[in-house]
């Protein structure tokens, strides 16, 4: 009886093992996120469409077995908690230690010259205490405006800053008369606005690795797929990783110091400092007449 029971148990174990072996392996999943409020996507659906197309291209490069999903996020913390890779706003890439794998291009360039665009004002004094729109990233926005763009010469309190969810929304707000000006890269919506002045170059969004748990071989394939991806959108391609350290440095407060001109070097010849006795020596003046003798 004991032998029969033992054989039955062994039989069930063999069947269970066979079932486990026959069950298909659970497919891995990667999430490619996007959080880039300063990128010039026309709408949130356009943003999602772009990252979904990128995710599909990455999935194809991995050769099957791995599902890759594109997803748009409303904050960096939200994306970092759910995605393994992501398209990250340059302000956030400058202030974090994520591994930058590639930099987006716009018109083939990895950076753009930003400017202060206004509805009607043509100079900075005319914008004092006026509403100025900007794309809110949550990555030290005030320091970016005050130090990186305005070089610490104008405090952010000079304006009434108006935060918007995306740069295109900020530009539209100015065009419709909501705000008086906007800090932005050159977008289609800025063509009807007046450029007050340029405020410097800013790198485009970065493609970063958010999770350190991804296998190195998989990460390499993801990077290669990103560098080979091109689509007619707000971002038209990708190039090798640029350094965002320069932007991070510019976000620190600057202190202006006066610059002194170097002194002019004067060379003296020997006759200028030596007096040869008896030659050209000046006569001693008679000063007795200036004194009274008692």
For 54-63, 92-101, 116-125, 274-283, which range has the lowest pLDDT when averaged over its residues?
Answer: 274-283
> Dihedral of CA 10/11/13/14: which sign?
positive
Residue 116 and residue 168 in one domain: yes
Q: What is the pTM of this model?
A: 0.77
Residue 58 and residue 102 in one domain: yes
pLDDT per position as a tens digit, 147-168: 999 999 999 899 999 999 999 9
Q: Which residue in 52, 26, 65 sits closest to 218, CA to CA? A: 65
From 163, 178, 202, give the residue that closes a domain.
Answer: 202
Residue 243 and residue 121 in one domain: no
Residue 125 and residue 196 in one domain: yes
Mean per-residue pLDDT, 44-61: 97
Mean per-residue pLDDT, 207-217: 95
Q: Which domain holds residue 117?
A: 112-202
Cα 189-39-231 angle, rounded to 5 deg: 95
Separation in Å, CA 218 to CA 66, 205, 284 = 10, 22, 96
Indicate if the pLDDT at residue 275 is higher than 70. no
Q: Residue 87 domain-assigned? A: yes
Of 27-31, 192-196, 274-278, which one has max mean pLDDT? 192-196
Q: Residue 11 domain-assigned? A: no
For the chain, what is the domain count? 2
> Dihedral of CA 114/120/121/126: which sign?
negative
Q: Residue 265 domain-assigned? A: no
Q: Residue 98 domain-assigned? A: yes
């Amino acid at each position: 009886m004991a032998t029969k029971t033992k054989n039955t148990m062994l039989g069930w174990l063999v069947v269970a093992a066979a079932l486990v072996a026959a069950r298909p392996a659970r497919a891995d999943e990667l999430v490619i996120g996007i959080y880039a409020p300063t990128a010039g996507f026309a709408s949130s659906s356009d943003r999602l469409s772009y990252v979904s197309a990128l995710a599909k291209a990455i999935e194809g490069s991995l050769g099957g077995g791995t599902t890759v999903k594109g997803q748009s996020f409303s904050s960096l913390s939200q994306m970092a908690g759910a995605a393994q890779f992501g398209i990250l706003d340059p302000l956030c890439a400058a202030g974090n230690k994520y591994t930058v794998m590639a930099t987006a291009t716009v018109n083939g360039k990895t950076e753009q010259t930003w400017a202060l665009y206004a509805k009607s004002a043509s100079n900075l004094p005319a914008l004092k205490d006026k509403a100025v729109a900007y794309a809110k990233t949550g990555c030290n926005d005030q320091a970016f405006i005050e130090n990186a763009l305005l070089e610490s010469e104008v405090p952010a309190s000079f304006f009434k800053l108006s935060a918007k969810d995306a740069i295109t929304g900020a530009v539209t707000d100015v065009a419709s008369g909501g705000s008086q000006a906007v800090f932005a890269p050159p977008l289609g919506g800025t063509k009807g606005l007046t450029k007050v002045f340029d405020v410097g170059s800013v790198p485009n969004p970065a493609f970063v690795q958010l999770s350190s748990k991804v296998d190195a071989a998989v990460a390499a394939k993801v990077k290669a797929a990103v560098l080979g991806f091109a689509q007619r959108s707000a971002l038209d391609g990708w190039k090798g990783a640029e350094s965002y350290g320069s932007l991070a440095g510019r976000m620190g407060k600057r202190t202006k110091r006066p610059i002194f001109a170097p002194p002019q070097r004067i060379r003296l010849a020997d006759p200028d400092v030596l007096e040869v006795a008896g030659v050209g020596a000046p006569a001693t003046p008679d000063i007795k007449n200036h004194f009274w003798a008692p």
